[in-house]
């Protein structure tokens, strides 16, 4: 499930990013006359508008449908605030009264419209349990998940890029095959197995790192860092492997292109060819993967958070689901969906910026 259809869909037709490149291309291919320039500018604006329309036409239905699935989960569960709060002792009158209070006596489509209207304005409803606003609950927990995910992302980018670069430069040699083998093994390791392994080695045997808990960084920075290290490593392995693999694939293809040979022939140093010329074009698949991974790292850390007793976003969702706190579950799912869609758009824009001007559809 590494690439998906959203990522695979072609990047934007013409992007606003990187005016230097397009100006460059225009200058080299045709004489710059005022008329031409104006036509180019119009072309550019139209391309951006077209891309915007196309994105909206895809993102809006997808958002509505996936949130509708999310909403249906709650409706299909047959749970209601009264039963959740009072359990079996809830009287029919109590159930009816609370249902009316939460608007659960209306038809499902109306309920959905009410709810999605609130979501768009940032109102995710209130928890059935402690009547706290769902947005507030998620906000509190998101900081914890963001610490772990952010750290995991840094590990993923640094080591993934390093491994991918080394493998691509030594393509076909032992180092390359070793990295490829290690990467494919790393991506089969489930995070909970890695987490347990890390605890056994680093906490139980070596007593290096604490095995559970969370402290905010403002309170004790080093304690915070030592607490998030193991979950971050456990979460990052998959990202490291995936980035290394995609970067290798992209770079190997790019290094065979004629313009790279040309640069080598012109006597540019290997380093300059690799970092100045090849990396920019070879990074595409890796960037796409990165965009897919960020929401997974933020929202998918349920198991890791449970193992390390970190009350993050994923744990909030799992606990609420087990308690039957429907609004909180729906809220966490919506936030996760929005994150996925947001990073998809970001990836598309970045990919468009990375694409050589000559390959952009005009």
Partner 1 sequence: MIDVLRAALRLPSAKIAVGILIVIAFLAIFGPLVAPFDPYAQNSKDLLQGPTLEHWLGTDDLGRDVFSRLLAGSTVSVLAAMQSVVVGLVLGALPGLLSVYLGRTFEWITLRIMDSFITLPFLVFAIAMTALLGNGLTQAMVAVGILIAPAFYRVTRAAALTVSHSQYVEAAQLFGATTAWVVRKHVWKKVFPAIAVTTASMTGASLVIVSSLTFLGIGIVPPEPTWGGLLATDLGNLYQRPFGPVVPALVIIGTVWALNALADALKDATTDAGAPPVSKQKRRELQAVPHGA
Q: Which residue ranges make up the site for partner 1 (CB under 8 A)? A: 1, 3-8, 58, 61-63, 65-66, 69-70, 73-74, 76-77, 79, 172, 184-185, 188-190, 192-193, 196-197, 199-200, 203-205, 211, 246, 249-250, 252-253, 256, 282, 284-285, 288, 295-296, 299-300, 302-303, 306-307, 314, 317-318, 321-322, 324, 326, 329, 332-333, 336-337, 340-341
Cβ proximity to partner 1: between 57 and 143 the closer is 57
Please tell me the distance from the alpha carbon of residue 153 to that of residue 290, in angstroms, as a whole number.
Answer: 9
Cβ proximity to partner 1: between 17 and 253 the closer is 253
Residues in the chain: 362
Smallest Cα–Cα separation from 211: which of 193, 238, 229? 229
Distances (CA, A) of 79 to 28, 69, 260, 362: 66, 16, 62, 54
Instruction: Write phi, then psi, for 22 (nearest 5 degrees).
Output: -65, -35
Please tell me the distance from the alpha carbon of residue 64 to that of residue 58, in angstroms, as a whole number.
Answer: 10
Cβ proximity to partner 1: between 18 and 40 the closer is 18
Cβ proximity to partner 1: between 1 and 35 the closer is 1
Supply the minimum distance, in Å, between the C-beta of residue 69 and partner 1. Answer: 7
Supply the minimum distance, in Å, between the C-beta of residue 311 and partner 1. Answer: 15
Cβ proximity to partner 1: between 147 and 317 the closer is 317
199 CA to centre of own chain: 26
Please name the residue that has the structure tokens 């109102």: 123
Cβ proximity to partner 1: between 148 and 340 the closer is 340
Gap between the terminal Cα atoms of the chain: 32
Q: Return the beta strands (E) in the chain as ranges.
A: none
Supply the minimum distance, in Å, between the C-beta of residue 283 and partner 1. Answer: 10
Are the C-beta atoms of 170 and 274 separated by less than 8 Å?
A: no
Cβ proximity to partner 1: between 61 and 216 the closer is 61
Bridge partners of 133, per DSSP, are 126
Are the C-beta atoms of 238 and 186 separated by less than 8 Å?
A: yes
Supply the minimum distance, in Å, between the C-beta of residue 352 and partner 1. Answer: 13
Supply the minimum distance, in Å, between the C-beta of residue 155 and partner 1. Answer: 20
Please tell me the distance from the alpha carbon of residue 215 to that of residue 224, in angstroms, as a whole number.
Answer: 5
Instruction: Write phi, then psi, for 126 (nearest 5 degrees).
Output: -120, 150
Smallest Cα–Cα separation from 315: which of 214, 206, 186? 214
Instruction: Write phi, then psi, for 346 (nearest 5 degrees).
Output: -60, -45
Supply the minimum distance, in Å, between the C-beta of residue 221 and partner 1. Answer: 27
Q: Which helix (H) or strand (E) holds 81?
A: helix 81-86
Supply the minimum distance, in Å, between the C-beta of residue 214 and partner 1. Answer: 17
> Which residues have a Cβ under 8 Å from the Cβ of 159 and sit 6 or more positions away?
236, 240, 244
Cβ proximity to partner 1: between 40 and 76 the closer is 76
> Which residues have a Cβ under 8 Å from the Cβ of 4 and sit 6 or more positions away?
292
Supply the minimum distance, in Å, between the C-beta of residue 330 and partner 1. Answer: 8
Supply the minimum distance, in Å, between the C-beta of residue 151 and partner 1. Answer: 19
Supply the minimum distance, in Å, between the C-beta of residue 323 and partner 1. Answer: 9
Cβ proximity to partner 1: between 37 and 208 the closer is 208
Cβ proximity to partner 1: between 97 and 256 the closer is 256
């Amino acid at each position: 499930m590494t690439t998906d259809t959203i990522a695979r869909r072609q990047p934007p037709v013409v992007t606003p990013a990187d005016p230097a490149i397009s100006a460059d291309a225009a200058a080299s291919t045709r004489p710059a006359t005022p008329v031409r320039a104006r036509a180019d500018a119009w072309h550019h604006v139209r391309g951006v508008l077209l891309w915007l329309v196309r994105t909206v036409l895809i993102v809006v239905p997808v958002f509505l449908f996936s949130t509708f699935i999310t909403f249906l989960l709650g409706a299909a569960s047959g749970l209601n605030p009264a039963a959740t709060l009072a359990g079996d002792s809830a009287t029919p009158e109590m159930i009816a009264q609370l249902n009316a209070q939460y608007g659960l006596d209306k038809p499902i489509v109306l309920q959905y419209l009410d709810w999605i209207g609130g979501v768009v304005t940032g109102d995710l409803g209130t928890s059935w349990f402690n009547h706290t606003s769902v947005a507030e609950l998620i906000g509190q927990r998101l900081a914890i998940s963001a610490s772990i995910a952010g750290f995991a992302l840094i590990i993923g980018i640094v080591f993934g890029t390093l491994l991918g670069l080394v493998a691509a430069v030594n393509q076909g040699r032992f180092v390359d095959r070793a990295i490829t083998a290690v990467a494919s093994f790393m991506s089969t390791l489930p995070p909970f197995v890695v987490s347990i392994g890390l605890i056994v080695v680093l906490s139980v045997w070596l007593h290096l790192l604490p095995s559970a808990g969370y402290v905010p960084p403002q309170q004790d920075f080093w304690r915070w860092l030592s607490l998030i290290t193991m979950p971050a490593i456990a979460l990052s392995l998959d990202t490291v492997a995936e980035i290394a693999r995609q970067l290798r694939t992209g770079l190997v293809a790019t290094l065979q292109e004629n313009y790279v040979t040309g640069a080598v022939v012109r006597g540019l140093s290997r380093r300059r060819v690799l970092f100045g010329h090849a990396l920019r074009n070879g990074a595409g698949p890796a960037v796409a993967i990165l965009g897919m991974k960020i929401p997974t790292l933020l929202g998918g850390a349920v198991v890791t958070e449970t193992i390390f007793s970190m009350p993050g976003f994923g744990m909030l969702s799992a606990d609420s689901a087990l308690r039957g706190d429907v609004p909180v579950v729906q809220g966490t799912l919506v936030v996760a969906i929005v994150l996925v869609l947001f990073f998809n758009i970001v990836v598309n824009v970045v990919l468009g910026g990375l694409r050589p001007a000559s390959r952009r559809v005009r």
